[in-house]
Amino acid sequence: MSGPAFRFPALRVRVFCLIAALVPFQLQAAPDPIITDFGNDQVLAELPRNAPGIRSNPDSAEEAGNRLQRLIIQARTTGDPRYLGYAQTLINNWSEDNLTDRLRVLRATLRQSLHQFEPARSDLEQVLTTFSDTEQRIQARLTLANLELVQGRYGVARKQCQALQSDYPGLVAASCLASVEARTADPEKAYEGLALALVETNKRQRPDSTSRLWAEGTLGDIAAQAGLPEAQVHWQRVLEANPNDLYIRAQLADWHLEQGHFERVLALTNGFDAVDTLAVIRAIAMARMGHPDSDELNGRLRQRFKEARWRGALLHARDTALFLLEIENQPQEALELAIENWNSQKEPLDTRLLLRSSVAANDKVQYQSVRDWLIKQGQRDARYPEFEQ
């Protein structure tokens, strides 16, 4: 069927964790060490050139939406969180009375990127209760389904996926439902069903690239959950089509790390030291293989996380917690951050981190609490064998 062309990359399952930084908007960045001794003419940092949307106020809602969209895309494809800061400045300066449905969906996407889940949910629900155009309703539905999935609200996520299937049947809706089934029932069955849907769709008509890559990425996620080696095949297909998909790059790098494929981890993370998720995965691989550059990278990450916490700008606790657990050997401190992180988002790698931190810190109460939650959800995942203890 013909349907709306999505105007921006919808969230796959979670907003990609960017870096530990600070601009005045509670973002994460990768700052250099704090400099206190410098000359009046010394250049300390260069802002991105020609960043759209920061020089003048847009003249129309359409122009505002276009700028906001470009900024969100640039943040996701470059790993530079300053673009999210520019986006927040733009939307904050736009009158609430003049918000269109498209601007609300984009603002919700921005808010989810900043872990402002409740305001994001409110924006999306408002779009769904109005007589908005079909494209924005579908985008809002998909974004809300993913938000609920991120937070482990699987019953609500399933309802949103079912509504999406009714409004926009196809691979995107099938991927949405398969993700919920994998988290709550049978990942192998979910994988087989979505893989078959992709094959059948290819037979009938070649799907648009957005839908096809969305399905491939979801198949990679579910395959990893089921412990299937096909995970890397699906993720690699997405990366070949879109090397700037940082979420998929991190998923694949993490998978290779767990398999002990350290050279592949280094290849995937090379040049991405500014993105905390990828930099921490790289640091762990280097440490495990005894790489000569391990100490230098660890030192930069240590300083980065220290500054982020000092500034009160540690938006994404998972990367710091993983660093504390795997590199610093500080399980209790890692556990505290892992709990904080898991209280807001419950993606598989968040759950795995909390389980591992609980075991490492010998916190049996916290471990049992997570285990009880997993049993209640009917969730099993090959990526955290700690669940079987």
Total domains in the fold of the chain: 1
Minimum mean pLDDT range among 247-256, 264-273, 283-292, 303-312: 303-312
Per-residue model confidence (pLDDT) at position 41? 54
Give the residue-averaged pLDDT of 56-83. 88
Residue 140 located in a structural domain: yes
How many residues are recorded in the chain?
A: 389
pLDDT digits (tens, 9 = 90+) for 218-227: 999 999 999 9
Residue 76 has pLDDT above 90, yes or no: no
Q: How far apart are CA 378 and CA 212, in angstroms?
A: 28
Which tokens in the block code for residue 358?
């609980």
Angstrom CA distances, 151 to 146, 374, 381, stand at 9, 13, 17
Q: How far apart are CA 55 and CA 138, in angstroms?
A: 32
Q: How far apart are CA 330 and CA 338, in angstroms?
A: 12
CB 103 within 8 A of CB 64: yes
Q: How far apart are CA 232 and CA 297, in angstroms?
A: 26
Per-residue model confidence (pLDDT) at position 150? 95
Per-residue model confidence (pLDDT) at position 136? 93
Residue 136 located in a structural domain: yes
Whole-prediction pTM: 0.85
- Gyration radius of the chain over CA positions: 21
Give the residue-averaged pLDDT of 354-375. 97
Per-residue model confidence (pLDDT) at position 268? 98
Residue 31 has pLDDT above 90, yes or no: no
Angstrom CA distances, 385 to 224, 255, 304, 356, stand at 13, 14, 31, 9
pLDDT digits (tens, 9 = 90+) for 176-212: 999 999 999 999 999 999 999 999 998 888 778 999 9
Average pLDDT, the chain: 86
CB 61 within 8 A of CB 104: no
Q: How far apart are CA 150 and CA 30, in angstroms?
A: 25
pLDDT digits (tens, 9 = 90+) for 127-142: 999 877 889 999 999 9
pLDDT digits (tens, 9 = 90+) for 111-132: 998 889 999 999 999 999 987 7
Residue 167 is classified by DSSP as H
pLDDT digits (tens, 9 = 90+) for 158-174: 999 999 999 999 999 99
- DSSP letters for 224-278: HHHT-THHHHHHHHHHHH-TT-HHHHHHHHHHHHHHT-HHHHHHHHTT-TTSHHH
Per-residue model confidence (pLDDT) at position 21? 25
Q: Which residue has the higher pLDDT, 51 or 100?
A: 100
Per-residue model confidence (pLDDT) at position 18? 24
Residue 54 has pLDDT above 90, yes or no: no
Task: Please tell me the chain's helix, strand, coil percentages from 3-state DSSP, rounded to the nearest 5.
Answer: 65, 0, 35
- If we measure between CA atoms, which residue out of 177, 197, 169, 166 comes closest to residue 2? 169
- If we measure between CA atoms, which residue out of 335, 344, 387 comes closest to residue 366? 335
Residue 350 located in a structural domain: no
Give the residue-averaged pLDDT of 306-310. 78
- If we measure between CA atoms, which residue out of 175, 205, 207, 166 comes closest to residue 193? 175
- DSSP letters for 170-206: SHHHHHHHHHHHHHHS-HHHHHHHHHHHHHHHHHHSP
Q: Which range of residues forms the domain containing residue 94? A: 11-33+60-152
Residue 349 located in a structural domain: no
Residue 111 located in a structural domain: yes
Q: Which residues of 81-98 are buried (b: 16+ CB within 10 A; e: fewer)?
A: bbbbbbbbbbbeebeeee
Residue 125 located in a structural domain: yes
- If we measure between CA atoms, which residue out of 168, 4, 150, 18 comes closest to residue 83? 18
- Helix, strand, or coil (residue 18): coil
pLDDT level of residue 302 (50, 70, 90 thresholds)? very high
Residue 173 located in a structural domain: no
Query: Which residues lie below 8 Å from residue 143, measured CB to CB, with a gap of 6+?
Result: 10, 11, 105, 108, 109, 112, 120, 124
pLDDT level of residue 307 (50, 70, 90 thresholds)? confident
Give the residue-averaged pLDDT of 218-243. 97
Residue 229 located in a structural domain: no
Q: How far apart are CA 144 and CA 129, in angstroms?
A: 13
Residue 336 has pLDDT above 90, yes or no: yes
Per-residue model confidence (pLDDT) at position 68? 94
Q: How far apart are CA 362 and CA 360, in angstroms?
A: 5
Per-residue model confidence (pLDDT) at position 202? 87
pLDDT level of residue 46 (50, 70, 90 thresholds)? low
Query: Which residues lie below 8 Å from residue 203, measured CB to CB, with a gap of 6+?
Result: none
- If we measure between CA atoms, which residue out of 135, 106, 138 comes closest to residue 123? 106
